[in-house]
Amino acid sequence: QVQLVESGGGLVQPGGSLRLSCAASGTTFSFYTMGWYRRVPGKQRELVATVTTTGRTNYAGSVKGRFAISRDVAKKTVYLQMNSLKPEDTAVYYCNLAADSKIYWGQGTQVTVSS
C-alpha cells in the first residue's frame, strides 16, 4: 500500500521561504512521477511542480523561477523549495505520486503566506 507523508508547511511572511518534503513508502514502481499540487478553498486543485524518475521537471507558470522541485530516488522523497513566497501561494499543498496509471495523494500540508 503506497503512503505519502508530507512535512514542512507552516506560516511565513511574504518574501520568505519554506521547504516541503514528501516521503513515499510501500512503492515497488521502478519509474514514477512525483509532484506537488495545491488547493485554495473554493477552487480546484492545481499543479505546482512535478519531477520524473529521470529528473525531468515541470512547473506551473505562476511558480517558475521561485519554486524548485527535487527528489532523492534512493529515499523515495520529493522536495519543494519555495522562495519569494506571495500571499497568493497560500493553499493546502498535496504530494502526488503517479505510476502504472495509478495516482496516490498525501494528506496535505497547509502553507500560509501572511504578514
Chunked mean pLDDT (size 10), the chain, 115 residues = 93 98 85 92 94 93 97 91 97 94 94 97
Q: Quote the pLDDT of residue 62.
A: 96
Q: State residue 87 phi and psi, 5-degree precision.
A: -55, -30
CA–CA gap between residue 114 and residue 49 (Å, rounded):
22
Q: How many residues in the chain?
A: 115
Are 31 and 53 within 8 A, CB to CB?
yes
DSSP state of 89: G
Exposed, middle or buried, 2 (CB in 10 Å: 0-12/13-18/19+)? Answer: middle
Q: Quote the pLDDT of residue 32.
A: 84
Q: Quote the pLDDT of residue 41.
A: 85
Q: Quote the pLDDT of residue 54.
A: 87
